[in-house]
Structure 1
Amino acid sequence: MSSILLLSIRPEYANQIFDSNKTVELRRVRPRLLNEGDLVLIYISSPTKAVFGSFKVDTIIEKPIAELWEEVEDKAGISSEKFYDYYQGTKTGIGIFLKDIHRFSQPVDLHRLRKKLPELKPPQSYRYITDKQLRIVYSLGECSR
C-alpha cells in the first residue's frame, strides 16, 4: 500500500524544487512509511503557509553525512556550510530523490485547507494523509492526479 505524505518545506527550498534546481529533499529522519513511488504533497511553511504541489519519490538513501554530501551537493540546493549545520550532531542523513514534480494551478493556502479539512494540521516536518484528504487537496489546487 502506498503512503501519501504532507511534507513541510521552507519557501526557499520549495521554490528550488518547482524551478527544477533541487531534485533531492534532505531530512535528518526518514519518514518510516515512505517508499519509492509514494506521493508527497509539498506544504510550504511560514510565511507562505500553502500546499503548492506534489512529487513522487524516486529513491531514498541513508548515508553517513560526508558520503551523502558527495552524492547530493549539486542536487540539494544548499551550500556545504548549511548542509553540515543542518546535520550537526547526527551520523547519517536521508536524501529523498524527487520525480514527477507537479505545481498546482492554484496554491491551497492554509485558510482554504482548514475550511475543507479542519482535522488536517500543517506538519512541523511531515504528516501522513488519507486518499480522501488527498482528493480534497487536489480539487482545491485544481490539479488532477
Structure 2
Amino acid sequence: MNTPFRLDDHPRRPYPLAPPPASYFEQLPRRVMDRVQPTDPAAPALSWLGRLPLPLRTALASVLLLGGFAASLVLSSTPTSASATLAAVPQEELVQYLLANDSRVTLADLADVSVTAPATAASYLHASPEELERALDAQPTDDSYL
C-alpha cells in the first residue's frame, strides 16, 4: 500500500531564491565550452574541411551529393531499354507463354499495345469471327464521319 503524499509535509525553499554569483551568466558559456572541447589537440584527417568557409563547404557538399547521385545513376543503368530487352525474347517463347496462360489474349488487349509489328499480329493472332465482331462493335463511332 502506498503511503499518502501530502505537500504540506515537505518544507519549501526559502523565498526568494538566492541570486546567482556575480557575472555567472557571462562565464557560463565559456565553462560549458571548456568542458565540451577535447583536451587532445591531435587533428583528425579532415580538419582542413572545418577551416573552409561555410559557403564553400555547402558548395562542396552539394557537388559531392550530386556527383554521387549521377554516378549511381550511370552505374545502375543498363544500356538496353525495356523494349530492347523484350525484343530479345524469341517470338516462339512469347507465343508459348501466351498460349499456356489460362486467359486468352483478346483484341482489346492487343489494341492497348502501342508498338506491335503487323506481321507478328497476323501470324500469331487466333481470333474467332465472333470475337472479331464483338471487338468491332465495341469500338466507338463518330457520327461526323458517316
TM-score by length of 2: 0.16
* Structure number having the greater helix percentage: 2
Q: Which has the higher contact order (CA 8 A, sep 6+)?
A: 1
Q: Which has the larger radius of gyration?
A: 2
* Structure number having the greater strand percentage: 1
